[in-house]
Structure 1
Amino acid sequence: MNRLISISKKEFSDHITSRRFLLILFIICLVLGVAAANGVTNYNDALEKYKNENVGYLFFPSILLAFNQITNSIGHDGLGAVIGIAIGFDLVSGEKEGKSLKTILSQPVYRDELINGKAIGGIISLSIITLAGFLTVLAIFLIIGIVPSVDEFFLIGVIWLITLLFMISAFSLALMSSVLAKTSSGALIMSLIILFTLMYIIPVGGGEFGISVLLGPEPLDEEYDFGSQSQVESFENIQYEYNQKRTVLYDFFSLFSIQRVYNDITSPITMPSKYVISRIGFSEFSINPDIAEGIEKPSLWEILGDKWMKIIVFIMWPVLFFGIAYVRFMRMDLR
Structure 2
Amino acid sequence: MMKSLIAFNPFFRQHAPASPFRVMVRKEVGDHIRSWRFIIMLVLILLTFIGAMYVSLSNIRKAATNLNDPDRIFVYLKLLTTSDNTLPTFHIFISFLGPLLGIALGFDAINAEKNNGTLIRLMAQPVYRDNLLLAKFYAALKVIGTLFFSLVLLMIGGGMIITGAPLEASELFRILAFAVLSVIYVGFWLSLAITLSVKFRHAATSALTAIGIWLFFTIFYQIIVNMIMNAILPDPAYLQQDSIIAYNNLVLSLLRVAPSQLYTDAATTLLMPSVRSLGPLTMEQMAGAIPAPLPLKESLMIVWPQVTGLLAATTACFALAYFLFMRREIRT
Aligned pair partner of 2:295 in 299, 311, 320: 299
> Is 1:7 aligned to 2:24, yes or no?
yes
Change (3 A) 1:243 1:29: same
1:21 aligns with 2:33: no
Q: Give the drift of 1:241.
A: 3.0
Matched, 1:140 2:158: yes
User: 1:195 Cα deviation (Å)?
Assistant: 1.9
Specify the alignment match of 1:242 in structure 2.
Answer: 243
> Per-residue deviation at 1:105?
1.5
Secondary structure, counterpart of 2:65 in structure 1: helix
- Equivalent runs, 1:1-335 vs 2, <5 Å: 2-50=19-67, 55=68, 57-63=69-75, 64-68=77-81, 69-75=89-95, 78-147=96-165, 148-206=167-225, 208-209=227-228, 212-213=231-232, 216-218=233-235, 238-273=239-274, 275-276=275-276, 291-293=288-290, 295-334=291-330, 335=332
| Aligned amino acid, residue 267 of structure 1 | T
Contact 2:41 2:101 in 1 (8 A): yes
Higher helix share: 1
Structure 2: where are the runs of 5+ without partners? 1-17, 82-88
* Cα separation, partners in 2 of 1:278 and 1:58, compared to 1, 3 Å: farther
Give the distance between the partners of 2:48 and 2:236, measured in 1 at CA: 45
Return the alpha-carbon distance in structure 2 between the equivalents of residues 105 and 277 of structure 1.
Answer: 50
Say which SS state the counterpart of residue 272 (structure 1) adopts.
Answer: coil
Q: Which amino acid letter does the alignment assign opposite residue 111 of structure 1?
A: R
Would the alpha carbon gap of residues 282 and 82 (structure 1) be closer, same or farther in structure 2, given more than 3 Å must change?
farther
Structure 1 316/199 Cα, relative in aligned 2: closer, same or farther at 3 Å?
Answer: farther
Structure 1 CA distance, aligned partners of 2:323 and 2:51? 41
Q: Is the 8 A contact 1:32 1:134 kept in 2?
A: no
Q: CA deviation at 1:47?
A: 2.0
Q: Following the alignment from structure 1 to structure 2, what is the Cα–Cα distance between the partners of residues 41 and 292? A: 32
Contact map agreement 1:92 1:178 (CA 8 A) in 2: yes
Q: Distance in 2 between matches of 1:43 and 1:281?
A: 30
Which protein, 1 or 2, shows the higher relative CO under an 8 Å CA cutoff with sep ≥ 6? 1
How far residue 89 of structure 1 moved from its aligned partner, in angstroms, is 1.1
Residue by residue, what CA displacement relative to the aligned partner does 1:102-129 show, whole Å, maximum 9, x if unpaired?
Answer: 2221222221011011111111111122
Mapped to 1, the partners of 2:258 and 2:326 lie a distance apart of: 28
Q: What is the alpha-carbon distance in structure 2 between the residues aligned to residue 132 and residue 278 of structure 1?
A: 29
AA in 2 matched with 1:135: L
State whether residues 203 and 254 of structure 1, in contact with CA within 8 Å, keep that contact through their aligned partners in structure 2.
yes
CA distance in 1, matches of 2:321, 2:144: 19
Number of aligned positions between the proteins: 305
Question: Partners in 1 of 2:315 and 2:164 — Cα distance?
Answer: 38
Deviation by residue 1:53-97 (Cα, 9 ceiling, x = unmatched): xx3x1343312022122111111xx11111111111111121122
- Contact preservation (8 Å) 2:273, 2:296: no
- Kept after mapping to 2: 8 A contact 1:32/1:136: no
Identity %: 22
Distance 2:33 2:236 in 1: 58
Alignment partners' CA distance in 2, 1:140 and 1:201:
37
Per-residue CA distance 1:34-53 (angstroms, 9 max, x = gap): 11121223432222322xxx
Report the Cα distance in structure 2 between the residues aligned to 1:109 and 1:158, rounded to whole angstroms: 35
Q: TM-score, normalised by structure 2?
A: 0.82
Contact 1:33/1:137, CA 8 A, preserved across alignment: no
- Tell me, in whole angstroms, the C-alpha distance in 2 between the residues paired with 1:279 and 1:250: 10
Question: For structure 1, which runs of at least 5 residues remain unmatched after alignment?
Answer: 222-237
Amino acid across the alignment from 1:333: E
Query: What residue is the counterpart of 1:233 in the other structure?
Result: none
Once the two structures are TM-superposed, the CA of residue 281 in structure 1 deviates from its matched residue by 5.2
Deviations 1:177-206 (A, max 9, x none): 111121111111011112223334444424
Counterparts of 2:263 and 2:164 in 1: how far apart (Å)?
A: 26
Contact 2:252 2:279 in 1 (8 A): no
CA distance in 2, matches of 1:159, 1:331: 37
- Partner Cα separation in structure 1 for residue 289 and residue 59 of structure 2: 23
So what's the TM-score if we normalise by structure 1? 0.82
Equivalent residue letter for 1:88: G
Is residue 181–residue 307 contact of structure 2 (8 Å, CA) maintained in 1? Answer: no
Q: How many Å separate the matches in 2 of 1:204 and 1:242?
A: 22
Q: Give the Cα–Cα distance (whole angstroms) in 2 for the partners of residues 25 and 211 of structure 1.
A: 40
Counterparts in 2 of 1:126 and 1:219: CA distance versus 1, 3 Å: closer
The 2-side partners of 1:219 and 1:138 are apart by: 45
